[in-house]
Every structure is written in structure tokens, then in C-alpha cells.
């Protein structure tokens, strides 16, 4: 196992210490239970937006805490749901009196633990709404999931909801933005290599030198099919076809095109992926009006990519363009 780590059991704590040293102007890191909140939390009168999930997907979610995006993020152990007490303490820490939105990726453990935290928070008088993102068109029902998995649309939903909350929209309105993103976002990913969970010490799955996995999950869950390695253009066709043919895209729609790296894939390859994805979207009559290109929802050092399309409208465009100031995404400030 070749990684820049110390003891496997210290990976998450030491990562959080690094974030605390690096970004004390933007965030505060709490330990035991572990969560990251924006430095000025709680913001009175503003809906708070929280997400969380297993570690190993950085910068998601901790890197998206700050003005214009998340109020808090709860990192679990690597590829392991955070515990209810993490979400509960984070919910209490960021509650500014206007309610708290939980953005949850569709994995069974995450849903169960977020639900428990929401119930406990409500018992303490905090208004909580939860929206579950399930945008992965690759497979229905998977290793850790009933229904579709939650992947790239989560990043986009966090940006949009964070901007809506900054405008002082109500909890219901911010949750509506999230529900709309969930309805209008579609993703699919693939892997060239496996990743290795630090405390396991060996690759999550075996993938021979001439093979790739199409429809991979962000924890290395099996995808749709394993095939001989193909060209980037052919791979992008295999990802874009199921995304575009799934509801709800039609010619003339404006979309955001998000090309994501899985952690071990360099930017030069992501632009080659973007090139073909853009051409396919355009061929279908879609108008790519915004994009995001980089490694934002990762699977440790896995090599591979995922593509997300999100249908945009005037409200989404304004929310996307609004200022954001986080360690992982920043513009306008």
C-alpha cells in the first residue's frame, strides 16, 4: 500500500488537523465527535446546510464548508457513515434559528444515521429537513444502497443550497432547491484502477491491467460491467449515453457539465474527457452553460472519472454564480 499516511487509524484525525492548520480563517474543526463548521457559525437567521459521509472522498464534504456552501460537514471513518452524534452536534453548532437542511447521499448507513440525528435535533427544538441525493444512473440497488447511489450531483446541490441559504431563503425553499437538484442531476462513473482503504491495506477489488469497470461506485462498489480498456472517447460515450437518455434532458436544455476525477486521475486526462462529453452533449442539442472540472468527489487514489449533468434554469444559474469561499471551491470573494 503506497500512501502518504502514518498509522491507518490516524488518517482522518490527522487530515482534520491539517485542515485546521490550513484553513482556520474559513473553518473550525471539532474533534470527538469530528465535524467541521464555518468559522462564523452559527449565522443567526440563516438556514444552515449540512452534509457528511465517509472520509476518502475529499474535498467532499469538509472542503466545501464556508460562506456560500456548507455550514458543517461530518466526516466518518474512511468509506464509513458518520455517527448520529456527529450530525447532531454539528446540527446544534450551526443552528442559527432558521432551521437546518441535511443533504444526504443515498447510502443505507448515511440515511439511517442522518435520520436518527434529525430526530434527536427535532427533539431539542431544531427544525430539520433532509434531502437524499440519488443521481447515479449506473445501477439500481448496490452494495451499500437501496435504489440509486448518491454521487456528483451532491457537490452541485451543496453549492446551490448554500447560495440559497445565503439569500435568507426559508428552510422549505432551500430544501426545494435541493429536491430540484436531485430531480435534475444525473451521474455515472468508471474506474481504471481500484483504491485501497488504509486500514484494509489491499485493493478493494482486482482490476487487471487491461480491464476497466464501467458504472463504479465511489466506494469501489461493482458497476454495470467490466470491459477491456477502451479509448477515452469510447469511455465517455459509455458514460454519457445512460445519463442523457435517462430523464429529464431534451434538446434545447441548458446544463452544467461536471467532469470529476476519482482521485488518481490527473487534470490533463479530465480535459480530454470534458472535450468528448461536451461534444456529445452538444450533439444532443444540450447547451453547456456552466462547467466544473477537477477532482471534487473522489475515491481515495482510484484512477477514473465520473460525469454529472445538471439541468440549469435562471435560478440555478444565479445560485451557481453566487460567491463561495471554501477550501475546495471559491469565487467572487
- Which residues within the stretch 141-180 sit at the binding site for a second copy (CB under 8 A)? none
Interaction between residue 248 and a second copy (CB under 8 A): no
Of the pair 148, 296, the CB lying nearest a second copy is at 296
User: What single DSSP character describes residue 235?
Assistant: H
Per-residue contact track with a second copy, 258 to 297, x per CB under 8 A? -----xxxxxxxxxxxxx--xx--------x--x-x-x--
Interaction between residue 58 and a second copy (CB under 8 A): yes
Residue 293: count other Cβ atoms within 10 Å of its Cβ: 16
Interaction between residue 225 and a second copy (CB under 8 A): no
Per-residue contact track with a second copy, 14 to 43, x per CB under 8 A? xxxxxx-xx---------------------
Q: 318 with 284: CB under 8 angstroms?
A: no
Query: Grid cell 439511517 — which residue?
Result: 112
* 57 assigned to active site: yes
> Which grid coordinates are listed for 192?
481504471
d(CA 253, CA 53): 32
Of the pair 143, 267, the CB lying nearest a second copy is at 267
SS3 content of the chain, % helix, strand, coil (to 5): 35, 25, 40
- Report, in Å, the least distance between residue 244 CB and a second copy: 17
**Sequence-distant (≥ 6) Cβ neighbours of residue 27 within 8 angstroms:** 19, 20, 36, 37, 38, 39, 62, 65, 66, 327
Per-residue contact track with a second copy, 65 to 84, x per CB under 8 A? --------------------
- Report, in Å, the least distance between residue 6 CB and a second copy: 5
User: What single DSSP character describes residue 9?
Assistant: G
d(CA 153, CA 182): 7
- Report, in Å, the least distance between residue 42 CB and a second copy: 25
User: Do the bridges between strand 254-261 and strand 287-294 make them parallel or antiparallel, or are there none, so unpaired?
Assistant: parallel
Of the pair 217, 263, the CB lying nearest a second copy is at 263
d(CA 17, CA 11): 10
> Which residues contact a second copy (rule: CB under 8 A)?
2-7, 11, 14-19, 21-22, 55-56, 58-59, 63, 192-193, 209, 212, 229, 231-233, 235, 263-275, 278-279, 288, 291, 293, 295, 298, 300-301, 303-305, 325, 327, 330-333
Catalytic residue IDs: 57, 219
Amino acid at each position: 500500500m503506497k500512501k502518504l499516511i502514518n498509522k491507518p487509524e490516524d488518517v482522518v484525525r490527522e487530515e482534520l488537523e491539517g485542515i485546521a492548520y490550513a484553513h482556520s480563517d474559513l473553518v473550525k474543526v471539532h474533534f470527538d465527535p469530528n465535524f467541521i463548521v464555518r468559522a462564523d457559525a452559527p449565522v443567526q437567521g440563516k438556514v444552515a446546510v449540512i452534509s457528511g459521509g465517509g472520509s476518502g472522498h475529499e474535498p467532499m464534504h469538509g472542503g466545501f464548508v464556508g460562506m456560500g456552501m456548507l455550514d458543517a460537514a461530518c466526516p466518518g471513518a474512511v468509506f464509513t457513515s458518520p455517527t448520529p452524534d456527529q450530525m447532531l452536534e454539528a446540527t446544534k453548532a450551526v443552528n442559527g434559528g432558521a432551521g437546518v437542511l441535511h443533504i444526504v447521499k443515498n447510502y443505507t448507513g448515511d440515511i439511517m444515521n442522518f435520520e436518527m440525528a434529525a430526530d434527536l435535533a427535532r427533539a431539542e427544538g431544531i427544525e430539520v429537513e433532509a434531502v437524499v441525493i440519488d443521481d447515479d444512473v449506473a445501477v439500481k440497488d448496490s452494495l451499500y444502497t437501496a435504489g440509486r447511489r448518491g454521487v456528483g450531483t451532491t457537490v452541485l446541490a451543496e453549492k446551490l443550497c448554500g447560495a440559497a441559504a445565503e439569500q435568507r431563503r426559508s428552510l422549505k425553499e432551500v430544501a426545494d432547491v435541493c429536491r430540484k437538484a436531485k430531480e435534475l442531476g444525473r451521474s455515472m462513473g468508471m474506474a481504471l484502477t481500484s483504491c485501497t482503504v488504509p486500514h484494509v491495506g489491499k485493493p478493494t477489488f482486482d482490476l487487471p491491467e487491461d480491464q476497466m469497470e464501467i458504472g463504479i461506485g465511489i466506494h469501489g462498489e461493482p458497476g454495470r460491467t467490466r470491459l477491456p480498456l477502451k479509448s477515452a472517447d469510447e469511455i465517455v460515450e459509455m458514460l454519457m449515453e445512460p445519463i442523457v437518455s435517462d430523464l429529464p434532458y431534451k434538446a434545447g436544455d441548458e446544463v452544467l457539465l461536471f467532469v470529476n476525477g476519482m482521485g488518481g486521475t490527473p487534470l490533463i486526462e479530465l480535459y480530454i474527457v470534458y472535450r468528448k462529453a461536451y461534444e456529445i452533449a452538444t450533439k444532443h442539442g444540450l447547451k453547456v452553460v456552466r462547467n466544473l472540472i477537477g477532482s471534487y468527489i473522489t475515491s481515495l487514489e482510484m484512477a477514473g472519472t465520473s460525469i454529472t449533468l445538471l439541468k440549469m434554469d435562471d435560478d440555478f444559474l444565479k445560485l451557481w454564480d453566487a460567491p463561495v469561499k471554501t477550501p475546495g471551491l471559491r469565487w467572487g470573494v
